[in-house]
Amino acid sequence: MGELQGRRAFVTGSFQGIGLGIAIALAREGVDLVLHGLADQATIDSAVAAAKSAGARRVETFVSDLRDSAATEELIKNILLGGPVDILCNNAGIQFTAPTVEMPRGKWDDIIAINLSSVFDTMRLLLPQMAERGYGRVINTASVHGLVASVAKAPYVAAKHGIIGITRVTALEYADAGTRESGGVTVNAICPGWVETALIEPQIQDRVAKFNGDRAAGIADLLSEKQPSRRMSTPDDIGQVALFLCSKSAHNITGAAIPVDGGWTSQ
């Protein structure tokens, strides 16, 4: 996709995991990157090195807490000083599990703020300048939990359902921006199921141990209850979906919530 050469992407929560996978996929197509998150310097340096190795000519980094709306406004202002943002990938998120009646009120506030309210903030601040240029891509990382529920995840499920809702609203509001030739402005959500990241590696290792070190068997057992494929996706898999959504040929894909879940939500 040479058409993305020189575009600029802002990816929240991109120093590792799915966010970094999306950033790497974009870097391979010559997209300039604005990486973001909360991480130690070694993790940040590793992400920058990976992005440059993949082909990004320009990589900027910003550290900020998305719970603070005023700080997010300042963040966007500083990012725009470096040029327009063509691609916004809202990926930052946190998780905490507990039954609803035992969920700490502060955890609800934090999860809703980072997983949902920050998406509202970045879109309201960046969509107008995308519309002015006739090209823009917003890709929100939702989850299968934006489509179905699981116990002990009330704030997370509420936030992910909210992401799909706001994705559809803004997709409608900007559906007629731009042209087929310019690429238009689209807003979509990707809904991953199980994705093989460092965050869930302890769960994988627990199952692998039960199968005498057979990683594939351990993963299949871990996924057996919900993901029929019994195969995890990788961050790069999610990145490839995001990459296609950035292409001009995807100009009429907007307001979609795309499951990448091995059949989880088809049951």
Active site residues: 156
Alpha carbon distance 167, 261 (integer Å): 19
Pairing verdict, β 87-90 and 59-63:
unpaired
Among residues 63, 65, 50, 42, which one has the least CA distance to residue 20? 50
- Would you say 12 and 122 are in contact if contact means Cβ atoms under 8 Å apart? yes
Return d(Cα 13, Cα 38) in angstroms, integer.
7
Contacts of 259 (CB under 8 A, 6+ apart): 144, 147, 191, 193, 265, 266
- Distance CA(245)–CA(250), nearest Å, equals 5
Computed over its alpha carbons, how large is the radius of gyration of the chain? Answer: 18
Which of helix, strand or coil describes residue 104? coil
What is the rounded CA–CA span in Å between residue 49 and residue 56? 10
Strand partners, 192: 260
253 Cβ partners below 8 Å, 6+ apart?
186, 188, 245
* Inter-CA distances, 13 with 19, 57, 181, 209, 255, Å: 6, 20, 31, 31, 22
Counted residue by residue, the chain has a size of 267
